[in-house]
A and B are shown apart, each in its own frame.
Chain A
Amino acid sequence: MATLSLYGQSILVLASLILFTSFALLAQTRALPLIRLFAWQGILLAVTTALVAWVTHQPHLYVSALLTLGLKALLIPWLLIRLVNRLGLHNEVENPKANALVLLGAAALTVFCYEIALPIMRLSTLLTRNVIAVSLAVVLLGMLLIIVRSKAVTQVVGFMCMENGLFFAAVVATYGMPMVVELGVAFDVLIAAILFGLFFLQIRDSIDSLDIDRLSRLRETDE
């Protein structure tokens, strides 16, 4: 730890803050603060990426950082906030079941990620190798968010949070994917964000609520 430069240490601190935003997302039950937290995660991610780019002299990572900033920190949160305001969801509060348990489960997941990532961390020689476990944790915490929540907005944030984690993984494990792949993924994310927006309107029209628990007509048991 002490052998790292101040920049290296900053990267670690930023990484832990990103992990913290993931936990905070799990604890947050209101739509608008949730989206703002997600935007903060995007900003942190962009800053981390830029810092990695600067420290390791990987100019292509600047592009990725800009892409993240534009897409994850600005555009998607803006879209979501607009939708939430338009659909009048800003006052809705979700009542997650056993939130303390969920958070403990999230901590357990983080430990699990650490275990999983150990072999990779051992192999890697990169400055950011310790962060790989954190990136995987962000992915899995996003998944947890989707599983334990029932509001469509929260699930979308969980989905995007997973994307954040994946992008983060690419940055810290390999200093980013090849540019063509990164652009492709960003394109997919953009399309997904737009589709999610359209979906909100559809769900709203068809079941008059954005509570996914109400989407339960299709089940295996006979009516």
Chain B
Amino acid sequence: MAGSLTLWSLALLQVLVFIAGAPLLTGWIRRVRSALQNRAAPPIWQPYRELAKLFRKNVVLADEASWIFRTTPYVVLAATVSAAAALPAVATHLPTDAIADVIVLVGFLALARFFLALAAMDVGTAFGGMAASREMMVASLAEPAMLIAVFTLSMTAGSTNLSTAVGYILHSGLVLRPAFVFTLVGLLMVAIAETGRLPVDNPATHLELTMIHEGMILEYGGRHLALIEWASEIKLMIYGVLIADLFLPWGIATRLTVPSLLLGSIALVAKLAFWGGLLAMVETHFAKMRLFRVPEFLNIAFLLCLLGLLSHLILEVAL
């Protein structure tokens, strides 16, 4: 393994670019949304400014806050970054492929969510507890859907490893798979719910009684808030990359040469721009749902994923 060091540094670079680029995606989404809503858009690097501002501020802790409250921002960011590391973004066949497993990914995200909910309840405010319970409700409905979607894909590719799956999909060329149609839509809905976007949750307000994600982090400030915000921006990007990997893997670098890596990066940027645009469209076109409609929304997502699995079993498995 002569190039082992190169490979590892490449993998590290990929992760770094990933986390560094995440706020940019959020900025892009806001920009598209402003354009769609005929508003003057903030500059695309506005999320960086916000993060910088928060990092400069002091941390204010509640009196009752325990160590959980203090460590949660770091755990959340670490778990999210690990999840990001597991994803093949620009290139496959990197050493991180060994953990590039969808179940690992789901596990990391669940870990982050778990700590966030704990921390929300830690301070003992009403909003925190309420938001934590809501988050858990959404998660308990979204996760089965996501797992079914993942199983469908892994049954098609014969593996839960993302790198292998990407390789399989690239190798089989353009195949219309009915299962993928449903799984894609289902997964998009899950992604919207999980990343706390409209119409499930509104990331831009603290004023509604219906908030979920914002309710949980209401007590955080300064550096802590910056870490959590950053983590949620990374999470948004993770879903974007995951969906791009599974449904539109074309362009991703399978050989580690400079041109192909360059092509991979350009393709990734293009796909993420598209994903961001799509989210902005959805957020512009749909009103926020009432909270008790959210289970219905997720039920539909679950059903779609289930239909995907069924169509895979019924229609695609050759007898």
Contact = CB atoms under 8 A, between A and B. Distances in A.
Nearest to B173: A2
B175 A16 contact: no
Contacts of A3: 318
A134 B307 contact: no
Range class of the A interface residue count: 20 to 34
Nearest to A8: B176
Interface string A100-143: 10011001001100100000011000000111011000000000
Interface of B: 172-179, 181-182, 295-296, 299-300, 303, 306-307, 310-311, 313-319
Q: Give the dominant DSSP class at B's interface.
A: helix
Contacts, number: 72
Interface stretch (A19-27, A75-83, A215-223): A19-27
Given A15-B178, A16-B178, A111 B316 contact: no
A103 B295 CA distance: 14
Nearest to B304: A20
A110 B177 contact: no
B176 A6 contact: yes
A134 B314 CA distance: 8
A107 B319 contact: no
Contacts of B181: 13, 16-17
A131 B299 CA distance: 25
Nearest to B311: A16
Given A110-B314, A130-B314, 20 more contacts: A1-B318, A6-B174, A6-B176, A12-B176, A12-B311, A12-B315, A15-B315, A16-B179, A16-B307, A17-B181, A19-B310, A20-B182, A27-B300, A107-B306, A110-B310, A111-B310, A114-B314, A122-B319, A129-B319, A130-B319
Contacts of A19: 307, 310-311
12 contacts: A6-B176, A15-B178, A16-B307, A20-B182, A103-B303, A121-B319, A129-B319, A130-B314, A130-B319, A131-B315, A133-B314, A134-B311
Contacts of B307: 16, 19-20, 23, 107
A150 B2 CA distance: 71
Contacts of A130: 314-316, 319
